[in-house]
């Protein structure tokens, strides 16, 4: 840990650094590839919407030894539709069947009770109408849209419009990747998923704003010097906050990983699974976009300004002149004083007599 702290201090002081801005085309390419894959997953497979969005029935069985695969067969035979079955932590099963009305729900409940060999009253049944799911989806989209608008306005006022655009692109990048992974792996989208998606936007903005704040502070009066370009300062801002971003992301991911792999995987808590998966993927994508997407994009936008173009020309010209001077200095021959050097004086040196010494005195001596 002390070594990591030492590296962080050296990065903050600028003693060591990695050229994130110089390799921005690589990061853009990786993000474009991941985003295209996510969009293809959404187009081809689509999202596995839960019954909260499309309506249906949820049945919760008492403690049973029936396997998940066998329960899926029972539910398919009883309803004629595919069912989503989750095993909960107390050895109970949660069976979701989409597109059911009240009468069908009662019939399926009786058939499941017979298959599980339990009393019908011991199986809990909840019916969700499709209008409820549509209302949830509309509210989620409205909340996302309002959030995006407020973020752009705030960043444009607190920083500048280029940083607002870069942060917006990073947020869209994070949401697209997270939703695309849901589509590719087939995880069910529930209200918990929506909560997780809205939550990760704040975490993603946190790292982005930290870098932007450092960049804003270091670029004051930037055009009055000729040592650094805007991209140089942007790269230094990323390096100076890199360890902080890594630490905050790791600290945030650890409890989320606990919810995902222990709460969801071991205990079988479906709600925890829905929220923690979106948080885990979104936090990782947000940390990546803050470092590799948002700040390089700001540098690209700023370098298009006439003032920054002129600054870059001056900086490059000064660096070229410095390189030329260094090359001339290193190629200058060293004088060989073995033959041409004047011979060294051996013995006492004869000092010249002082002018007017002893003038006016008979003996020539000082009094």
The most confident of 9-18, 46-55, 88-97, 148-157, by mean pLDDT = 148-157
Of 276 and 148, the structure prediction assigns the larger pLDDT to 148
We report the CATH number of the domain holding residue 67 as 3.30.70.3400
Q: What is the mean pLDDT of residues 137-147?
A: 82
Q: Is residue 2 part of a domain?
A: no
Q: Is residue 265 part of a domain?
A: yes
Looking at the structure, tell me whether residues 72 and 40 fall in a common domain: no
Domain count, the chain: 2
Q: What is the mean pLDDT of residues 158-177?
A: 91
Predicted model pTM: 0.73
Which residue, among 244, 245, 224, 220, has the nearest Cα to 233 in the 3D structure? 220
pLDDT of residue 364 exceeding 90, the answer is no
Q: Is residue 175 part of a domain?
A: yes
Contact 133, 55 (CB under 8 A): yes
Those residues with Cβ within 8 angstroms of residue 174's Cβ, 6 or more apart along the chain or in another chain: 200, 201, 204, 282, 285, 286, 289
In the prediction, which pLDDT does 266 show?
A: 54
Contact 84, 226 (CB under 8 A): no
Burial 256-265 (b: 16+ CB within 10 A, else e): beebbeebbe
Q: pLDDT per residue over 9-23, tens digit each?
A: 666 555 667 889 989
Q: How many residues does the chain have?
A: 367
Residue 347, phi-psi category: left (phi > 0), alpha (psi -120 to 50), beta (remainder): left
We report the CATH number of the domain holding residue 169 as 1.20.1640.10
Of 234 and 84, the structure prediction assigns the larger pLDDT to 234
Q: Is residue 359 part of a domain?
A: no
Looking at the structure, tell me whether residues 289 and 148 fall in a common domain: yes
Beta strands in the chain (DSSP E): 48-49, 56-60, 83-87, 93-98, 124-128, 188-189
**Which of the listed residues 128, 152, 180 is the one where a domain comes to its end?**
128
Query: Which backbone phi and psi does 98 adopt, to 5 degrees?
Result: -85, 155
Mean per-residue pLDDT over the chain, rounded = 79
- Domain limits for position 81: 56-128
In the structure, what pLDDT confidence band is assigned to residue 297 with cuts at 50, 70 and 90? very high
In the prediction, which pLDDT does 11 show?
A: 61
In the structure, what pLDDT confidence band is assigned to residue 299 with cuts at 50, 70 and 90? very high
In the prediction, which pLDDT does 3 show?
A: 57
Looking at the structure, tell me whether residues 120 and 142 fall in a common domain: no
Q: pLDDT per residue over 35-79, tens digit each?
A: 999 999 888 888 877 777 777 888 888 888 888 888 888 888 888
Looking at the structure, tell me whether residues 34 and 183 fall in a common domain: yes
Q: Is residue 153 part of a domain?
A: yes
- CA geometry: angle at 159 spanning 155 and 162, to 5°? 80
In the prediction, which pLDDT does 344 show?
A: 45
Looking at the structure, tell me whether residues 205 and 306 fall in a common domain: yes
Contact 63, 91 (CB under 8 A): yes
Which residue, among 208, 292, 198, has the nearest Cα to 248 in the 3D structure? 208
Task: Report residue 344 as tokens.
Answer: 């060294």
Q: What is the mean pLDDT of residues 121-134?
A: 76
Contact 252, 203 (CB under 8 A): yes
Task: Report residue 236 as tokens.
Answer: 């230094």
Looking at the structure, tell me whether residues 112 and 141 fall in a common domain: no
In the structure, what pLDDT confidence band is assigned to residue 294 with cuts at 50, 70 and 90? very high
Looking at the structure, tell me whether residues 106 and 183 fall in a common domain: no
In the prediction, which pLDDT does 310 show?
A: 92
Q: What is the DSSP string of 276-345?
A: HHHHHHHHHHHHHHIIIIIHHHHHHHHTTSHHHHHHHHHHHHHHHHHHHHHHHHHHSPPP-TTTSSPPPP
Weakest-pLDDT range from 58-72, 168-182, 338-352 = 338-352
In the prediction, which pLDDT does 367 show?
A: 41
Q: What is the mean pLDDT of residues 147-169?
A: 90
The share of the chain scoring above pLDDT 70, in percent, equals 80
In the structure, what pLDDT confidence band is assigned to residue 346 with cuts at 50, 70 and 90? very low
Looking at the structure, tell me whether residues 219 and 73 fall in a common domain: no
Looking at the structure, tell me whether residues 121 and 183 fall in a common domain: no
Q: Is residue 342 part of a domain?
A: no
**Which of the listed residues 270, 290, 315 is the one where a domain comes to its end?**
315
Q: Is residue 5 part of a domain?
A: no
Looking at the structure, tell me whether residues 246 and 98 fall in a common domain: no
Q: Is residue 14 part of a domain?
A: no
Looking at the structure, tell me whether residues 174 and 272 fall in a common domain: yes
Looking at the structure, tell me whether residues 277 and 249 fall in a common domain: yes
pLDDT of residue 110 exceeding 50, the answer is yes
In the prediction, which pLDDT does 296 show?
A: 93
Which residue, among 62, 126, 112, 113, has the nearest Cα to 91 in the 3D structure? 62
């Amino acid at each position: 840990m002390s070594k990591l702290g030492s590296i962080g201090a050296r990065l903050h002081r600028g003693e060591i650094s990695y050229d994130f801005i110089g390799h921005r085309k690589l990061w853009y390419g990786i993000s474009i590839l991941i985003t295209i894959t996510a969009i293809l997953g959404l187009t081809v497979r689509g999202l596995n919407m839960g019954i909260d969005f499309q309506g249906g029935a949820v049945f919760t069985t008492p403690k049973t030894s029936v396997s998940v695969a066998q329960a899926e067969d029972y539910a398919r035979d009883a309803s004629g539709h595919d069912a989503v079955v989750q095993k909960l932590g107390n050895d109970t099963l949660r069976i979701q069947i989409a597109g059911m009305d009240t009468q069908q729900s009662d019939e399926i409940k009786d058939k499941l009770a017979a298959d599980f060999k339990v009393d019908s009253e011991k199986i809990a049944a909840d019916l969700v109408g499709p209008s409820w799911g549509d209302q949830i989806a509309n509210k989620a989209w409205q909340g996302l849209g309002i959030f995006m608008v407020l973020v752009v306005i705030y960043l444009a006022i607190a920083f500048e419009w280029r940083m607002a655009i870069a942060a917006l692109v990073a947020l869209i990048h994070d949401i697209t990747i997270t939703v695309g992974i849901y589509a590719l792996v087939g995880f069910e989208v529930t209200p918990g998923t929506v909560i997780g998606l809205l939550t990760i936007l704040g975490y993603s903005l946190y790292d982005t704003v930290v870098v932007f704040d450092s960049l804003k502070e270091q670029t004051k009066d930037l055009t009055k010097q000729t040592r650094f370009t805007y991209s140089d300062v942007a790269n230094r801002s990323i390096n100076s906050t890199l360890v902080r971003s890594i630490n905050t992301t790791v600290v945030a991911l650890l409890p989320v990983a606990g919810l995902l792999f222990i709460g969801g995987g071991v205990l079988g808590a479906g709600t925890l699974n829905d929220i923690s998966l979106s948080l885990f993927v979104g936090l990782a994508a947000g940390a990546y976009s803050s470092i590799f997407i948002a700040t390089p994009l700001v540098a690209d936008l700023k370098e298009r300004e006439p003032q920054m173009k002129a600054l870059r020309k001056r900086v490059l010209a000064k660096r070229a002149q410095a390189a030329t001077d260094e090359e001339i200095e290193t190629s200058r021959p060293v004088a060989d004083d073995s033959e041409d050097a004047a011979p060294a004086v051996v013995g006492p040196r004869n000092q010249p007599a002082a002018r007017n010494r002893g003038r006016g005195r008979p003996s020539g001596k000082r009094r």
